[in-house]
């Protein structure tokens, strides 16, 4: 028991160090606090002399679960957040929450770790668990409800339940039937006449295969709604090779410097590549007004080429966009543009992060892709100093 304690303390310290490498991910600090609390609890057991008491504490350690969460994050693509809570309303209109251990593949997949022993999970599934034990099928239904009510780009995230210690065949098949993807070594159903031999089949997975199981994902929202800011980025001289200038206007010089170090256009082009491009009438009219006022001949030429690939649609904003209360960040024009994107079920590309944040604060979340802000600069080049 003492050796096991030393081993667990060492592992908790290792998990803590690995977690610190994830500090750039939203929610990593929550996981770090959980590991720190577990480590503190293990260190406090150093003074426990009674082996029975020590064994009882070590059996109830949460290290297996935390280890699996860390491994899943390390082996998953495009991790967005850790230990994120999502609210949902059930059939009786009661608001509840589920906690997703890792939101991955850019938000399209949710991972839940179930680190209990496969025999315990199987018994709970059969209805033989202790009071308060939640069976995996009920849990899957809660997660599916939450996913349906928290869509990303107009679709429900897929849900993966990861069983690091393995999962029995019956539980695996039952979960597949609910729409959840179970990940873990599939074990035969328990042989209660020879349970000790059966338990030897349990083996903790290294979870490295999780990447392959998640990599079948392809983005399904293929419509893009171009905001005025995006139309400018696509046509501006500054984003099309003419950024080696110091302009008279400080804001343009700053944009030129940003463009030299982090070009805005390549990321936007990568995102819209292969997708259907739309633009609502309000965005089109406002962009044309800006182009006619400050645009240069090359910028106008790029605009003509661009709009051969873009479908201009009538304004048709979703009602919930128009119901937003207007403020310094929430203008009617933005409500119309983003709202039309919602009606189209298209992702709106934009540099207008202030509007999206302000709308979210009012409870309306828009499907958006952000890029850096740029201006039309061709006419300003004649007064600028070239590097």
Q: Which pLDDT score is estimated for 309?
A: 96
CA-based nearest residue to 212, from 177, 160, 155, 144: 160
Instruction: Kindly state the tokens that stand for 70.
Output: 């860390």
The mean per-residue pLDDT over the stretch 300-325 comes to 96
Would the pLDDT of 208 be above 70?
no
Could you tell me what percent of the chain has a pLDDT over 70? 95
Instruction: Kindly state the tokens that stand for 125.
Output: 């599934």
Provide φ and ψ at 278, rounded to 5°: -130, 160
Strand, coil or helix: what is 137?
helix
pLDDT in tens, 4-54: 878 888 989 999 999 999 999 999 999 999 999 998 988 887 777 777 777
56: confidence class by pLDDT, cuts 50, 70, 90: confident
Contact status, residue 282 vs residue 337, Cβ threshold 8 Å:
yes
pLDDT in tens, 62-100: 888 898 899 888 888 889 999 999 999 887 778 899 999
Of 150-164, 188-202, 299-313, 352-366, the least confident: 188-202
Q: Which fold has domain 74-219?
A: Trna Endonuclease; Chain: A, domain 1 (3.40.1350)
pLDDT in tens, 332-350: 999 999 999 999 999 999 9
Instruction: Kindly state the tokens that stand for 38.
Output: 């577990």
The mean per-residue pLDDT over the stretch 209-229 comes to 75
What distance in Å separates the CA atoms of residue 216 and residue 386, rounded to the nearest whole number? 48
What distance in Å separates the CA atoms of residue 56 and residue 91, rounded to the nearest whole number? 40
Q: Residue 159 pairs with which residues in a beta bridge?
A: 110
Q: Which pLDDT score is estimated for 383?
A: 87
CA distances from 378 to 19, 110, 167, 265, 307 (A): 47, 46, 63, 16, 19
Would the pLDDT of 218 be above 60?
no
The mean per-residue pLDDT over the stretch 363-383 comes to 92
Instruction: Kindly state the tokens that stand for 119.
Output: 């025999």
What distance in Å separates the CA atoms of residue 58 and residue 220, rounded to the nearest whole number? 45
113: confidence class by pLDDT, cuts 50, 70, 90: very high
What are the extents of the domains in the chain? Answer: 1-60, 74-219, 223-386
Q: Which fold has domain 223-386?
A: Rossmann fold (3.40.50)
Instruction: Kindly state the tokens that stand for 205.
Output: 């997975």
Strand, coil or helix: what is 95?
strand
Q: Residue 193 pairs with which residues in a beta bridge?
A: none
Would the pLDDT of 382 be above 90?
no
């Amino acid at each position: 028991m003492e050796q096991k304690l030393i081993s667990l303390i060492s592992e908790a310290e290792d998990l803590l160090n690995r977690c610190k490498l994830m500090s750039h991910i939203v929610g990593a600090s929550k996981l770090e606090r959980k590991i720190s609390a577990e480590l503190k609890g293990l260190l406090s057991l150093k003074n426990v002399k009674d082996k029975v008491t020590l064994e009882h504490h070590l059996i109830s350690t949460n290290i297996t679960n935390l280890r699996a969460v860390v491994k899943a994050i390390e082996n998953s693509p495009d991790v967005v957040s850790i230990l994120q809570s999502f609210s949902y309303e059930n059939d009786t209109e009661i608001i509840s929450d589920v906690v997703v251990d890792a939101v991955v593949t850019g938000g399209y997949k949710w991972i839940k770790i179930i680190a209990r022993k496969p025999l315990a999970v199987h018994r709970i599934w059969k209805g033989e668990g202790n009071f308060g034990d939640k069976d995996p099928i009920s849990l899957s239904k809660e997660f599916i409800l939450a996913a349906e009510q928290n869509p990303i780009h107009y679709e429900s995230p897929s849900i993966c339940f990861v069983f690091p210690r393995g999962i029995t065949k019956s539980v695996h098949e039952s979960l597949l039937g609910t729409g959840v993807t179970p990940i873990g070594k599939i074990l035969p159903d328990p042989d209660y006449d020879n349970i000790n031999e059966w338990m030897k089949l349990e083996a903790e997975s290294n979870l490295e295969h999780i990447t392959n199981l998640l990599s079948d994902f392809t983005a399904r929202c293929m419509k893009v709604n171009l905001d005025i800011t995006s139309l400018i980025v696509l046509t501006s001289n500054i984003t099309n090779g003419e950024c080696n200038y110091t302009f008279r206007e400080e804001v343009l010089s700053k944009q030129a410097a940003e463009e030299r170090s982090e070009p805005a256009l390549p990321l936007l082009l990568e995102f819209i590549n292969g997708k259907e491009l739309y633009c609502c009438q309000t965005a089109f009219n406002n962009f044309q007004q800006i182009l006619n006022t400050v645009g240069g001949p090359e910028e106008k030429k790029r605009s003509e080429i661009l709009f051969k690939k873009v479908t201009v649609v009538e304004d048709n904003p979703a009602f919930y966009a128009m119901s937003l209360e207007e403020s310094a960040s929430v203008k009617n024009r933005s409500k119309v543009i983003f709202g039309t994107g919602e009606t189209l079920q298209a992702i709106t590309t934009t540099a207008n992060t202030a509007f999206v944040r302000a709308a979210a604060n009012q409870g309306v979340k828009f499907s958006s892709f952000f890029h850096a802000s740029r201006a039309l600069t061709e006419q300003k080049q004649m007064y600028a100093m070239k590097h």
